[in-house]
Structure 1
Amino acid sequence: MRTDYHNHLERGTLTLDYLKEFTDEAAAKGIQHFGISEHAYHFYQTKNILSNPWVDERRYYDMKDYVSLFHEAWNQGIDVKMSIEMDYTPGRHAEMKSFIDTYDFDYVIGSIHWVDDFGIDLKEYLHEWDKRNVNEVYEHYFDQVVTLAQSNLFDIVGHLDLVKIFKYVPDDEEFLMKQYDRATDALAQSKTCVEISTAGLRKPVGELYPDDRLLKLCHQKQIPIVLSSDAHVPGDVGADYDQAVALAKRVGYTSLMTFSKGERKEVPLD
């Protein structure tokens, strides 16, 4: 069984023709469970959750058009899950819950891209890394992982250690493992699954998310997983899944979680 639950249409159009490029690629790669999870910040309906100059310049979708696209696909017999990738925003739990509850999502991904006003994975903010204490950034990032898990709003946490994207990593192994440990403790007490994402292989860090040590803790604490590519173009759907599956098996996973209309089901990892 294979899943690819983290994919984006934002570089193309919210049209059935473009969506089919993704679903056709998934079918060609033997992915049985495929979903689109557009960034929530693109939608006018999320302005009360996350708003800053970078985000507001990129808010150009309406949720009614997004939902209509999926209904059009389903009416044509296309098996695609409807999801959203929401920037977890501290202090906005009620607003996030209200948005999530408004739509009939198959699952919801929660991700952390911002530490206060610092866009940790954006090239526009790359220069900021050299101005900041890496340990403090990591600590604040994993503070949010903990409260994301505690909110229990999300089915999946996206790219769990995204903070490493530009190869800024604490030198202190003990400190890093402490962050991993408290994050996985919180995730283990929540409904939140962890994705093994191949997107990191296409980023400067050149590694899967999460790394072996972090995923091993997830397995030890019985946190379920899904597979995701975080594709922003059709050709990246299911990219490098041989490496993702090898990592999952190496740390001991034998199953994946699947989602449909908020319901989850554990299936074997082939």
Structure 2
Amino acid sequence: MKFDLHTHHDRCGHASGSIEDYIKAAIDAGMTILGISDHSPYFAREEDHAQPYIAMAKSEFPRYVDEVLRLKERYKDKIEILLGVESDFFPEHIDKYRAEYEKYPFDYIIGSVHQTRGVSIFNRNRWKGLNARQQTDEKMHYYELIRQSVHTGLFQVLGHIDAMKGYYPAFQDIAGAEAEIDAALQAVAEHDIAIEINTSGKTKDVGGWYPSDAMLERALHFGVDVTFGSDAHIPDRVGDEWELVRRRLKEIGFKRWVFYRRKAKVIVEL
């Protein structure tokens, strides 16, 4: 059973291809299950389309859901389509986001911290001029936000939990945040949700998956479940390196991975 829970399409403004393009690519790649999970709108902003090259417009959200459900029915004899969304996490706006998501029959919601202190985690310039203590503080804050996101109970999957390394590979070597990382992983295990192995890191400066093997080993230690997400922004990347990830997880010691249907965990043996 091959599944990919993390895919985007042209509504978000920085991916190419329609939802149907990704479905066709998944069928060609031999996928059994495909989750569509484009970036959620900025619900707390007054503008309809606050960030045109980052996330979809608020007015597009119901159309997005309708299109996924329509295509789910059209392709039901060829592949199972799951309705998902990749949600930003802003602690001060969590109730607004929760209210919006409750309107729709999501199979799962991916919670991703994309900003800390109002700056993108992918902005390499955020690290300029910071001393070692300040860098540690930034890393600690990032994992504290991830831990907080777990405790909201809103998310079934956490997205790319060490993605701050994407355009700043030295992030991996910043010491002093080990307690915050472990606290976040323990929270994931306690809330019985999952982290994703996201293969899009190979397209960034860091050149590898999210999260690192070391973090996956810590996740296994705490009993954290994992899932797979290509984070595809072009159809050709659907299911990218799925078999390599499956093999690596087995080498680390995992026995299973999971996906979500109607927010219920489905266990798949490795």
Query: TM-score, structure 1 length as denominator?
Result: 0.86
Structure 1 unmatched runs, 5+: none
Q: What SS class does the counterpart of residue 47 from structure 1 fall into?
A: coil
**Structure 1, residues 234-262: CA drift from partner, whole Å, max 9, x if none?**
00111122332232112211212122122
Distance of 2:34 and 2:157 partners within structure 1: 14
Stretch of structure 1 that moved more, 148-157 or 62-71: 62-71
Distance of 1:209 and 1:57 partners within structure 2: 23
Q: Look up the equivalent residue of 2:23 and give its one-letter code.
A: T
CA positional deviation for 1:176: 4.0
**Equivalent residue for 2:40?**
40
CA positional deviation for 1:33: 1.6
Q: What SS class does the counterpart of residue 91 from structure 2 fall into?
A: coil
Q: What SS class does the counterpart of residue 183 from structure 1 fall into?
A: helix
2:71 aligned with 1:70: no
Distance of 2:259 and 2:222 partners within structure 1: 19
Structure 2 unmatched runs, 5+: none
Distance of 1:75 and 1:186 partners within structure 2: 36
Distance of 2:12 and 2:98 partners within structure 1: 28
CA positional deviation for 1:103: 0.9
2:151 aligned with 1:150: yes
State whether residues 146 and 186 of structure 1, in contact with CA within 8 Å, keep that contact through their aligned partners in structure 2.
yes
State whether residues 35 and 81 of structure 2, in contact with CA within 8 Å, keep that contact through their aligned partners in structure 1.
yes
The equivalences for 1:111-130 within 5 A come to 111-121=112-122, 125-130=123-128
The equivalences for 1:6-85 within 5 A come to 6-10=6-10, 18-41=18-41, 46-48=42-44, 55=51, 58=54, 59-60=56-57, 61-78=59-76, 79-85=80-86
**Structure 1, residues 117-168: CA drift from partner, whole Å, max 9, x if none?**
11111xxx33222134321211110010110111111000000111111213
Q: Look up the equivalent residue of 1:128 and give its one-letter code.
A: R
Stretch of structure 1 that moved more, 225-234 or 75-84: 75-84
Distance of 2:113 and 2:216 partners within structure 1: 18
Distance of 2:170 and 2:258 partners within structure 1: 31
Q: What SS class does the counterpart of residue 258 from structure 2 fall into?
A: strand
Distance of 1:179 and 1:243 partners within structure 2: 29
Q: What SS class does the counterpart of residue 97 from structure 1 fall into?
A: helix
Stretch of structure 1 that moved more, 205-214 or 23-32: 23-32
CA positional deviation for 1:182: 1.6
CA positional deviation for 1:11: 6.5
Distance of 1:50 and 1:165 partners within structure 2: 30
Q: Look up the equivalent residue of 2:190 and give its one-letter code.
A: Q
The RMSD of aligned alpha carbons is: 2.4
Q: Look up the equivalent residue of 1:68 and give its one-letter code.
A: D
**Structure 1, residues 175-234: CA drift from partner, whole Å, max 9, x if none?**
243332121111111132010111111111111111111111111211111111000010
Q: What SS class does the counterpart of residue 92 from structure 1 fall into?
A: helix
State whether residues 188 and 223 of structure 1, in contact with CA within 8 Å, keep that contact through their aligned partners in structure 2.
yes
Distance of 1:126 and 1:86 partners within structure 2: 22
State whether residues 9 and 38 of structure 2, in contact with CA within 8 Å, keep that contact through their aligned partners in structure 1.
yes
Q: Look up the equivalent residue of 2:75 and give its one-letter code.
A: G
**Equivalent residue for 2:96?**
95
CA positional deviation for 1:172: 5.0
State the identity as a percent: 24
**Structure 1, residues 65-102: CA drift from partner, whole Å, max 9, x if none?**
11221232133134311111001111222112212211
Q: Structure 1 residues 69, 171: CA separation in 2 closer, same or farther (over 3 Å shift)?
A: closer
Q: Look up the equivalent residue of 1:140 and give its one-letter code.
A: H
State whether residues 5 and 259 of structure 2, in contact with CA within 8 Å, keep that contact through their aligned partners in structure 1.
no
**Equivalent residue for 1:168?**
170
